[in-house]
Amino acid sequence: MANDSAPSVGASAGQRREYLRVASRVQESPGILIDLRRPEVTQGLLGTWLRCRREAKYFLQGWNPLQINDAFQYGDMAHQVLDRAYRWHRKHGKVPSKQAVLKMVDHSFNLREDRLLQGTDSGKLLEILHQQHAAVRAILPEYIKFWKEDFDTHAYEWARPEKVFRLRFGRFVISGKMDGAVRSRDKLLWLFESKNYSRINEGEMIHTLWRDLQVNLYVWALRKITGEHPAGAVYNILRKTSLTYRKGDSPSEFEDRVREHVKADPKHYFKRMEITISHKDQKLFDDELTEHLELFWAWLKGGMKSPRFGMPCVQKWGMCRYLNLCYYGETRGYEKRKVLYPELVEE
């Protein structure tokens, strides 16, 4: 890529002027969190920017909706438990027992419940959280049982337990947090990504996942880190239950019903797909990534112009998170982050 953002020693007066001009223009935008000397980009930011420039601008300004999205809350809780279960296995060298998994689920739930209890007006969210907790308690131990071979016969060997990466790409740093990387019995390297979905359409996924931004960016990262071409991604899908609370259900009754449902048809709940990505397509992605990032940089330099009309304000997970801010200038219901990517701050 062309010249780096911060002028190096020996840079020409023209390069320094250009840098100062760009830096001052971008910093005119109040509270922008990206560091122009070393702009850090994640698939989340890039995907947001590709979707809507205005949404990306609010994100860069640090705006966060206070309202927790319940789909993200569920995914977050299930992800945390999976992560802890696989770490537990690496540490102890055996399959975590059902009791150990339930303890992990409860720990993850308690953290979220404490956070919600600190907020006001969290009654409905707490109710949803309790239902999600019961569902995760039912599903996760069955997942561990179903994919027991992950732990004992090692159908996949963990190739890379470290998750957070930060890699140079021209003037940018590309960052992210991958669920893991595995090596199959035929010694191929794969990105391992876990997802929690309510609806699983394998046909659609086979046709579209090889072009998914996150999959490709993380496969790119894995290639940079290891120096070898990954074969693609293992998509590890856990289905969310379609069962709902019945009137008068207690959390444990709901948990038992979901558990029986999973036990009756575990293949419906747990699926894995190997999405191969050819070397040629990995190279094509590199080229497109370069183009996207050049355009992103030009947008930053140009003062982050962000049109409002014709944008995808209703998204696949519901209304855009910034709708009130964007349509009505309403800042109530939002807070400002201090760091751009809190999820990448290592514990």
Binding site for ligand SF4 (CB under 6 A): 52, 54-55, 308, 311-313, 320, 322-323, 326
- The distance between the two most distant Cα atoms of the chain, rounded to a whole number of Å, is 73
Contact present, 261 and 244 (Cβ < 8 Å): no
Give, in order, the Cα–Cα distances in Å from 283 to each of 210, 226, 229. Answer: 13, 16, 11
CB 267 → ligand SF4: shortest distance, Å? 37
Nearer to ligand SF4, 100 or 313 (CB): 313
Residue number, 42 or 48, with CB nearest to ligand SF4: 48
Nearest distance from C-beta of residue 305 to ligand SF4, angstroms: 13
Q: How far is CA 123 from CA 88, 118, 119, 146, 236, in A?
A: 33, 11, 10, 35, 33
Nearer residue to ligand SF4 within complex by CB, 30 or 93:
30
We find the least distance from the C-beta atom of residue 90 to ligand SF4, in angstroms, to be: 40
Assess contact for 165 and 184: CB atoms under 8 A. Answer: no
Is the Cβ of residue 326 or residue 340 nearer to ligand SF4 in the bound state?
326
Those residues with Cβ within 8 angstroms of residue 53's Cβ, 6 or more apart along the chain or in another chain: 299, 304, 305, 306, 307
Residue ranges of the alpha helices (H) in the chain? 13-27, 43-51, 53-60, 70-92, 98-118, 123-146, 202-208, 213-226, 251-264, 266-269, 279-301, 323-328
Number of H helices, E strands in the chain: 12, 12
Find the shortest distance in angstroms from Cβ 24 to ligand SF4. 25
Return all residues near 242 (Cβ < 8 A) that are at least 6 apart: 198
Kindly state the smallest distance separating residue 51's Cβ from ligand SF4, in Å: 7
Cβ distance to ligand SF4 smaller for residue 52 or 275: 52
257 vs 321, beta carbon nearer ligand SF4 = 321
Q: How far is the CB of 302 from ligand SF4 (least distance, A)?
A: 18
> Which residue, 97 or 331, has its beta carbon nearer to ligand SF4?
331
User: What minimum distance in Å lies between the beta carbon of 48 and ligand SF4?
Assistant: 9
SS3 347: coil
Provide DSSP, 118-139: HSSS-HHHHHHHHHHHHHHHHH
